[in-house]
Amino acid sequence: MSHDWYRDAVFYEVFVRAFADSNGDGIGDLPGLTSKLDYLRWLGVDAIWMLPICPSPLRDDGYDVSDYFDVHPDYGALADVRRLIEEAHQRGLRIIVELIPNHTSDQNAWFQASRDPSHPQHERYRDWYVWSDTDQKYADTRIIFLDYEPSNWTRDALRGQYYWHRFFHHQPDLNYDNPEVQRAMLRVVQFWMDLGVDGFRVDATPYLYEREGTSCENLPETHAYLKRLRKFVDAYAPGTMLLSEANQWPEDVRPYFGDGDEFHMNFHFPLMPRLFMALARADRTPLVQILARTPPLPDGCQWATFLRCHDELTLEMVTDEERQFLWDFYAPQPRMRLNLGIRRRLAPLLDNDRARLELANSLLFTLPGAPVIYYGDEIGMGDNIWLDDRDGVRTPMQWDSGPNAGFSAAAPDNLYAPVIEDSTYGPQQVNVANQQAAPGSLLHTMRRMIGVRKQHSAFGRGNFAWVEADSKAVAAYLRSHDGERLLIVNNLSPHPQSVTLTASGLPSAALLDLLTGEYLPSSQQGQLALALHPYQYLWLKIQDTLGYGLHG
Ligand code: NOJ
């Protein structure tokens, strides 16, 4: 298999707690996930990204790590990780785990030793975190969890000093100026590479270092350490993929790829809200603008793209007016909003409108980047805005219409979170079993899109060029690679569109609809007139039999 497999891959993001409970304790676990690998292989995804599985007090669902070298007992044991990886590899699936380098839980033994002057290990750990006598340092740094935290500093009574934290106050930031910390995190990476993981999703990469007078984000010192991490990974377990979570503008994310010597992948955060903006306004302009602002990547690198994930739909990478518009449009009730974002799942965001759901996924699967599907979105699961924080988008996976949606044999009261219960999105309506049995279901459409995407390397590797369309509601583009040319057409509007596409070299040859297997009537040289249904999308292969070159 190719060393840069991730460029063509479709990723599937799983919250282990939510996916499948093997032992009836009401909590999803690693053996449960392992038991669902055949489903994921059937769906056609290539790599499974698991949310944190290490021991943790779970005040941030595992992004508050108390021990980097073990598994949370709720999820199983290290042997279960080994078995998951083995079983996944047997099925050609890859396993990506979380690396959370920026902060730990305040329950981590490192922090306990650091905060307590009477701790026997205090000397060793004293400078592992960012301590200060005042809470006035780094005042130019924004607060991320605006709805929960008034400051990036919290006072620790035992130590009598403040500690720095970019997220929750129970998540103290590690001090990367300390060479011991730098080495410790490499040991963590080594431990998980020894277990055989295929890659890491690296949490909160911009924030490793702090410097006075800066935003404390994207600092040169941070990039230097991340390059060191990459070097270590390349030397120790070549082929291990590193995916960075830097919620920043494209020009600020670009350095996280380095010269191909930092991360293999980065999430494209600014693209995501613009997909929703383009849909809401039936206008491709936000997509055109953000792709124009997206720099080319070094060889061997790839964007990770997504519609939804386990967090709120973040609106940090839009203007204030755009944010207000998106809030008003997609999150009319206050409970739907969180921090600078929206805590809703894909299907409710798009009014459970099948055509819009498909169109959104068409964009995800055909624009540049490797798509990441959030568990449950392949069947159009709903959310529960009445749960706290981001819990409402992390409810149990709906496998069937039986008790607890087939997620767990526990008594309903013992589930880690309630199954979605409403007449539209409850398991009676939305579940895997029903959709597997119904060839016309969203699940089957998703599977087909994934399957088609995987047959054409132009999706993962191809050049991208806009095709002129005389309606702004139509997003049409060419993806070309190795002599293959794909013409993708998306109608962003709820209304039919008669549109003429113009691209020098649009051949007068046949166009094969990859999703239906049917041919479209041939076009006139250079132009293609289409009558599109509301939200219609077409993935067309240009059968360039006449040998015309195509230069979008
Ligand atoms: C980003 C993660 O996606 C989010 O869930 C978490 O709360 C923060 N990082 C802090 O680790």
C-alpha span between 152 and 307 (Å, rounded): 29
Question: Which residue type sits at 384?
Answer: N
Q: By alpha-carbon position, which residue is closest to atom 6 of ligand 1? A: 63
CA of 203 to the centre of ligand 1 (A): 7
The residues pairing with 501 across neighbouring beta strands, listed in sequence order, are 469, 528
Considering only CA atoms, which of 297, 303, 253, 227 is closest in space to residue 11?
Answer: 303
How far from chain centre, in Å, is Cα 460?
A: 16
C-alpha span between 47 and 34 (Å, rounded): 13
Active site annotation includes 180: no
pLDDT single digits (tens) 341-377:
999 999 999 999 999 999 999 999 999 999 999 999 9
pLDDT single digits (tens) 378-436:
999 999 999 999 999 999 999 999 999 999 999 999 999 999 999 999 999 999 999 99
Residue 281, pLDDT above cutoff 60? yes
Nearest ligand 1 atom to the CA of 168 is 10
pLDDT single digits (tens) 285-332:
999 999 999 999 999 999 999 999 999 999 999 999 999 999 999 999
Residue 55, pLDDT above cutoff 60? yes
203 lines ligand 1 (CB under 6 A): yes
Residue 200, pLDDT above cutoff 60? yes
Q: Please identify which of the residues 46, 156, 198, 203 carries the catalytic annotation.
A: 203
**Alpha carbon separation from 469 to 366, 458, 501, 543 (Å, rounded):** 17, 21, 5, 21
Q: Could you tell me if 248 and 269 are in contact, meaning their C-beta atoms sit under 8 angstroms apart?
A: yes
CA of 496 to the centre of ligand 1 (A): 40
* pLDDT of amino acid 1: 53
Q: What is the DSSP letter of 174?
A: B
Q: What's the rounded mean pLDDT across residues 120-133?
A: 98
* pLDDT of amino acid 2: 76
200 lines ligand 1 (CB under 6 A): no
CA of 149 to the centre of ligand 1 (A): 14
Q: What is the DSSP letter of 546?
A: T
Q: Is 351 exposed, middle or buried (0-12, 13-18, 19+ CB in 10 A)?
A: exposed
Residue 550, pLDDT above cutoff 50? no
Q: By alpha-carbon position, which residue is closest to atom 3 of ligand 1? A: 311
323-342 as b/e, with b when 16 or more CB fall inside 10 Å?
bebbbeebbeeeebbbbbbb
Residue 505, pLDDT above cutoff 70? no
The three-point CA angle 514-474-306 to 5° equals: 70
Considering only CA atoms, which of 255, 283, 250, 259 is closest in space to residue 369?
Answer: 250
111 lines ligand 1 (CB under 6 A): no
CA of 63 to the centre of ligand 1 (A): 6
* pLDDT of amino acid 547: 45
C-alpha span between 21 and 29 (Å, rounded): 6
pTM beyond 0.85: the answer is: yes
Kindly report each contact of residues 247-255 with a partner whose C-beta sits within 8 Å and lies 24 or more positions away, as own/partner.
Answer: 247/206, 247/314, 247/316, 247/317, 248/206, 248/217, 248/218, 248/317, 249/293, 249/317, 250/290, 250/293, 250/294, 250/295, 251/293, 251/295, 252/206, 252/217, 252/218, 254/295, 254/297, 255/218, 255/223
149 lines ligand 1 (CB under 6 A): no
Q: Could you tell me if 375 and 472 are in contact, meaning their C-beta atoms sit under 8 angstroms apart?
A: no
* pLDDT of amino acid 544: 64
H, E, C per residue of 212-266: CCCCCCCCHHHHHHHHHHHHHHHHHCCCCEEEECCCCCHHHHHHHHCCCCCCCEE
* pLDDT of amino acid 525: 75
C-alpha span between 42 and 364 (Å, rounded): 20
CA of 167 to the centre of ligand 1 (A): 8
Question: CB under 8 Å to 291, separation ≥6 — which residues?
Answer: 271, 367, 368, 464
Q: Could you tell me if 192 and 236 are in contact, meaning their C-beta atoms sit under 8 angstroms apart?
A: no
pLDDT single digits (tens) 236-263:
999 999 999 999 999 999 999 999 999 9
548 pLDDT tier (thresholds 50, 70, 90) = very low
Question: CB under 8 Å to 321, separation ≥6 — which residues?
Answer: none
Average pLDDT, the chain: 96
Considering only CA atoms, which of 374, 344, 280 is closest in space to residue 11?
Answer: 374
| Helix or strand holding residue 98 (H, E) | strand 94-99
Q: 216: alpha, beta or left, given left = phi > 0 and alpha = psi -120 to 50?
A: left
Active site annotation includes 245: yes
Q: What is the DSSP letter of 42?
A: H
Considering only CA atoms, which of 198, 241, 202, 249 is closest in space to residue 225?
Answer: 202
243 lines ligand 1 (CB under 6 A): no
C-alpha span between 264 and 201 (Å, rounded): 11
144 lines ligand 1 (CB under 6 A): no
Q: What's the rounded mean pLDDT across residues 169-182?
A: 98
Residue 231 main-chain phi, psi, to 5 deg: -60, -45
